[in-house]
Amino acid sequence: MSKILKSLLVGSALVAAPASQAIELEVTHWWTSGGEAAAVSKFADAWNATGNSWLDGAIAGSGGTARPIIISRILGGDPMAATQLNHGRQAEELIEAGLLLDLSDVAEAGGWADIVNPSALLESCTLDGKIYCVPVNIHSAQWLWLSHAAYENAGLDVPNDWNEFVGSAGALQAAGTLPLAMGQQGWQQNLAFGAITIAVAGTEAWREVTVNKNAEVAAGPEYTAVFEAMVDARKLASESNVQDWNQATNMVITGTAGGQLMGDWAQGEFAVAGQVEGVDYSCLPGLGLNDILDTGGDAFYFPVNDDPAITAAQKELAALLISPEVQVSFNLAKGSLPVRGDIDMSSANGCMQKGLKILANGGILPSGDQSLSADTQTQIEDLMAQFWSGDMSAADAQDDYAQLIKKAD
Partner 1 sequence: MTVISDPLMHPTKRPRRLFKNLMAKLASIPMILTAVVVFVGGTAWTVLYSFTGSRMLPKTNWVGLDQYERLWSSDRWIISITNLGIYGSCSLVLTLVIGFSLAACLDRKIRFESAFRSIFLYPFALSFVVTGLAWQWILNPDFGLQSVVRGWGWESFVFNPLNDANTVIYGLLIAGLWQGTGLIMCIMLAGLRGIDEDIWKATRVDGIGTIKTYIVVIIPMMRPVFITSLVLIASGIIKLYDLVVAQTGGGPGLASEVPAKYVIEYMFRAQNLGQGFAASTMMLCSVVVIMIPWAYLEFGGRKRG
d(CA 295, CA 290): 15
Q: Whole-number minimum distance, CB 235 to partner 1, in Å?
A: 16
Closest CA to 218 of 229, 233, 208, 228: 208
Selected binder of partner 1 within 20, 184, 203, 246 (CB under 8 A): 184
Half-sphere exposure in the Cβ direction for 288 (13 Å, CA): 16
Stretch that binds partner 1, among 32-40, 170-178, 208-216, 381-389 (CB under 8 A): 381-389
Stretch that binds partner 1, among 139-147, 169-177, 295-303, 369-377 (CB under 8 A): 369-377
The smaller minimum CB distance to partner 1, of residues 293 and 402, is found at: 402
- Which residues are CB-contacts of 229 (< 8 A; sequence separation ≥ 6)? 166, 196, 200
H helices, E strands: number in the chain? 22, 13
The smaller minimum CB distance to partner 1, of residues 168 and 379, is found at: 379
Side by side, which strands form the sheet with 53-58?
Answer: 53-58, 24-29, 82-86, 298-301, 133-135
The smaller minimum CB distance to partner 1, of residues 97 and 360, is found at: 97
Stretch that binds partner 1, among 116-124, 156-164, 220-228, 372-380 (CB under 8 A): 372-380
Cβ-based neighbour number of residue 155 at 10 Å: 9
Stretch that binds partner 1, among 91-99, 133-141, 328-336, 362-370 (CB under 8 A): 91-99
Selected binder of partner 1 within 20, 49, 58, 92 (CB under 8 A): 92
Selected binder of partner 1 within 375, 393, 395, 406 (CB under 8 A): 375
The smaller minimum CB distance to partner 1, of residues 86 and 117, is found at: 86
Kindly provide the residue ranges of all beta strands, DSSP E only, lying in 307-402, ordered along the sequence. Answer: 364-365
Amino acid identity, position 341: G
When asked if residue 385 is in the footprint of partner 1 (CB under 8 A), the reply is yes
Stretch that binds partner 1, among 46-54, 103-111, 270-278, 370-378 (CB under 8 A): 370-378
Cβ-based neighbour number of residue 1 at 10 Å: 8
Q: Whole-number minimum distance, CB 169 to partner 1, in Å?
A: 21
Selected binder of partner 1 within 83, 84, 86, 90 (CB under 8 A): 90
d(CA 171, CA 375): 40
Cβ distance 131 to 100 under 8 Å? no
Selected binder of partner 1 within 48, 243, 353, 361 (CB under 8 A): 243
Q: Whole-number minimum distance, CB 387 to partner 1, in Å?
A: 8
d(CA 405, CA 401): 6
Amino acid identity, position 321: L
The smaller minimum CB distance to partner 1, of residues 7 and 72, is found at: 72
Selected binder of partner 1 within 15, 55, 97, 276 (CB under 8 A): 97
Cβ distance 223 to 167 under 8 Å? no
The smaller minimum CB distance to partner 1, of residues 96 and 204, is found at: 96
When asked if residue 374 is in the footprint of partner 1 (CB under 8 A), the reply is yes
When asked if residue 94 is in the footprint of partner 1 (CB under 8 A), the reply is yes
The smaller minimum CB distance to partner 1, of residues 203 and 256, is found at: 256
The smaller minimum CB distance to partner 1, of residues 48 and 241, is found at: 241
Q: Whole-number minimum distance, CB 94 to partner 1, in Å?
A: 7
Closest CA to 324 of 105, 132, 35, 42: 42
When asked if residue 64 is in the footprint of partner 1 (CB under 8 A), the reply is yes
Amino acid identity, position 235: K
Residues in the chain: 409
Between the alpha carbon of residue 339 and those of residues 83, 137, 296, 363, 387, the distances in Å are: 18, 5, 11, 15, 35
The smaller minimum CB distance to partner 1, of residues 92 and 161, is found at: 92
Selected binder of partner 1 within 52, 168, 185, 314 (CB under 8 A): 185
Selected binder of partner 1 within 52, 371, 377, 398 (CB under 8 A): 377
Burial of 174 by CB count in 10 Å (0-12 exposed, 13-18 middle, 19+ buried)? exposed
The footprint of partner 1 (CB under 8 A) covers 64, 67-68, 71, 75, 90, 92-94, 97, 184-185, 241, 243, 373-375, 377-379, 382, 385-390
